[in-house]
Structure formats: C-alpha cells, structure tokens
C-alpha cells in the first residue's frame, strides 16, 4: 500500500485527477469505479474543467458507481445518480451507455445485484477504483461485519452512517436506511484502487486502514491485501500514522 501525503484538499483532488487522466490516456477502453460524497467532488470539478477547456475527451470511458440508495429515483436530489449526473455525467456529456449506477427502484434486488456484477464483468473489470472511507471503516456501503467475500448486495445502513449522510437531505426522515453497494470482493477485483482521505476526523480510520489488523470489523483494512492500492491523504488525515 503506497501512501501519498499532500498538504490539503486541493492538492488531494489534483493528485487524484492525475491518476484518473493517466489511466484514461494509457488504457484503450478504461473502466472507472466512482464514489460519491464530499471527498471526490474536487476530482470531478477538475475533470469537468479539462473537458470545458477541450483538453480531454471522455467518450471512450465507462463508469460504475459504488452504490445507490434503495427507494430513491434517479431524479431525487438525494440519489447518487442525481449527484453524479449533476457533477459528472451531464457536464462531460457522457452517453447513458457509458455510465452505470445501481437501480434503487428495481422490483427485484437480487436480480439487480447479479446484473450489476455481470455488467462489470462484461466491461472487463474495473481498471481504477476510487474510494472514500467512513469513520467506521466502511468502503462503499460495506459496514463493519460485512464479509470480505461479498459481491454487490443490499445493506442495512448503520445509525452512524445515516447520521453523517442525512446532511444531504432536507430532513433526517428522508434519509434511506438501505442501499445497494458493490461488495468487498467486487471492490478488491479492481486492477488498481485509489483511496482518498481528507480531514482530521478521518485520521483514526486511516490509521486502522493502514496499520491495524485486517478484519471484517473494519472493512477498509482489507485494502492491505490488494497489490495495487494508493492512499492519497492530506496532512490532517495523516496525523495518527506512526511514520510522520
């Protein structure tokens, strides 16, 4: 596991952008795994700027999002499809065939999970997967206790995760309590993984990810077993690491 320490969030976003562009320009049909939330916003903004300045084209990429809330339509402002559409899909003028987000309104969740796994396989697997991390160590929506052998599945969100994510909804009551997420084995099948971590509130989680025991009680610890993981973390997030 390689750790790249940067000064601040701006530098973190820039370094993540460099990874994205390198993979896009060195892979014939690049497949990206994408995350939502506040951490990757800077990355998406930089990529949109590149497109607007006509420095890059994105017509040959394919994307798979990590997760989606159960029960939310694509046009719901709290859905992850809406988040990606507003910040990435639409500004880059991506075709619908290029983007993949789990269907939170599917009538059959088992079939949807199997379909998503099949789509990833048909694409040749994910070349570069971007991840964030929860304070409890979740990656995607794989909460503590999730099996390392899990594939795309339905999860019950923990109270702590719901409290953190409720800020994206007008009221706490609107916050869904379930989600579809790529499983840990699905994530670990990616050829390369970049974990983005910023802020002092993530320092303990980063320490456990890199220096703690590999255990299902802290899902991100499994990344120690992947051969090609890069952690990009700012100074505040690195405060508790042994090697300062």
Give the active site residue among 68, 117, 127, 143.
Answer: 143
Give the active site residue among 50, 68, 138, 234.
Answer: 138
Nearest CA-CA partner of 106 in 180, 159, 12: 180
Active site residue 236: no
Give the active site residue among 50, 67, 68, 112.
Answer: 67
- Surface-to-core class of residue 225, CB atoms within 10 Å of its CB (0-12 exposed, 13-18 middle, 19+ buried): exposed
Angle at 67 between CA 66 and CA 68, to 5 degrees: 155
Active site residue 143: yes
Active site residue 136: yes
| Separation CA 134–CA 141 (nearest Å) | 9
What would the two tokens of residue 39 be? 């951490």
Active site residue 138: yes
Asked if 179 contacts 69 with a C-beta cutoff of 8 angstroms, the reply is: yes
- For residue 196, the SS3 value is strand
What would the two tokens of residue 87 be? 């910040």
Q: Which residue has the tokens 């991840």?
A: 131
Long-range contacts of 218-222 (CB under 8 A, 24+ apart): 218/136, 218/137, 218/144, 219/137, 219/138, 219/139, 219/142, 219/143, 219/144, 219/146, 219/184, 220/131, 220/133, 220/137, 220/138, 220/139, 220/195, 221/137, 222/148, 222/184, 222/188
First to last CA, the chain: 16
Give the active site residue among 76, 136, 192, 204.
Answer: 136
Which residues lie across from 68 on neighbouring strands? 180
Give catalytic residues, as residue numbers: 67, 136, 138, 143
């Amino acid at each position: 596991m390689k750790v790249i320490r940067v000064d601040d969030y701006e530098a973190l976003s820039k370094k993540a952008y460099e990874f994205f562009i390198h993979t896009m320009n060195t892979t014939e049909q690049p497949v990206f795994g994408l995350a939502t939330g506040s951490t990757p916003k800077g990355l998406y903004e930089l990529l949109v700027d590149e497109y607007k300045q006509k420095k890059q084209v994105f017509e040959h990429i394919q994307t798979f999002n990590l997760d989606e809330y159960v029960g939310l339509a694509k046009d719901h402002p709290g859905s992850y499809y809406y988040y990606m559409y507003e910040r990435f899909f639409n500004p880059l003028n991506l075709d619908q065939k290029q983007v993949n987000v789990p269907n939170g309104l599917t009538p059959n969740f088992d079939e949807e999970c199997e379909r998503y796994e099949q789509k990833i396989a048909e694409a040749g697997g994910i070349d570069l997967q971007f991840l964030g991390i929860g304070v409890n160590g979740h990656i995607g929506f794989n909460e503590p206790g999730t099996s390392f052998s899990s594939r795309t599945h339905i999860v019950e969100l923990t109270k702590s995760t719901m409290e953190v994510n409720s800020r994206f909804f007008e009221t706490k009551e609107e916050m869904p309590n379930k989600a579809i997420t790529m499983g840990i084995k699905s994530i670990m099948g990616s050829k390369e993984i970049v974990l983005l971590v910023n802020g002092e509130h993530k320092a303990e989680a980063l320490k456990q990810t890199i220096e703690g025991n590999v255990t299902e009680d802290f899902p991100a610890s499994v990344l120690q077993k992947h051969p090609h993981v890069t952690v990009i973390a700012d100074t505040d997030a690195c405060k508790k690491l042994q090697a300062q």
